[in-house]
Amino acid sequence: MMASMSDYKVSENLGIPRRTIRSYPAGHVYTVQQKAWMDNNVWRLYLRTLLLPCVEAPSVILVDNFESHVSDESYSIVEDELSCLLVPLPPNATSTCQPLDVGVMAPFKRFLRDEWLAEEIIDGEDGDEFDSPCAAQKRLAMINRAIRAWEKVSEDVIRESFAKAIPSA
């Protein structure tokens, strides 16, 4: 259920050298884009690189109504390449229909916060500004925190989130 790859992906001209990306932990896909937000390129990368090898056709891919998710291109990739059905949630129903917000992202964010707090306790806050980490070190620390936090979100937690959201017959 959880997907990871050993490839490294990065958009060009965004100020992060490829050698830096290559130094990030293996087994994950990294993307960078100008506005730090999902866009068509990142969504295509997700569908083709992460989801395609993991999805068992036929399947239903549920998405919110974000324009990249419901574009003609997105429908085409999901139907033609993944052999699945793309189904957007009803408008304005995300909070009711989307179990990942509460069931998965809440524990992930809690684990992420716990990781950060654990680092603060270990490192301490001595107020010495001369040993402040540079931007590259901060990025790598955040990546490692996110990886550790995500590893704590079990497949059972994800399954249970959907089970709670889908009424039983």
pLDDT tens digit at each of 169 positions of the chain: 334 444 444 444 456 777 787 888 988 877 777 777 788 988 998 999 889 999 987 899 989 888 999 999 999 999 999 999 999 988 877 666 667 678 888 999 999 999 999 887 766 555 555 567 788 888 899 999 999 999 999 999 988 887 877 767 6
Residue 13: per-residue pLDDT: 46
Say if residues 50 and 3 touch (Cβ distance below 8 Å): yes
Q: CA-to-CA distance for 77 and 129, rounded, in angstroms?
A: 49
Q: CA-to-CA distance for 49 and 47, rounded, in angstroms?
A: 6
- Phi first, then psi, for residue 85 (nearest 5°) are -110, 125
Q: CA-to-CA distance for 143 and 145, rounded, in angstroms?
A: 5
The pTM score is 0.70
Q: CA-to-CA distance for 146 and 149, rounded, in angstroms?
A: 5
Residue 14: per-residue pLDDT: 55
Residue 94: per-residue pLDDT: 64
Residue 137: per-residue pLDDT: 86
Residue 102: per-residue pLDDT: 80
Domain ranges of the chain: 98-169
Strand partners, 87: 62
Residue 88: per-residue pLDDT: 92
Residue 123: per-residue pLDDT: 64
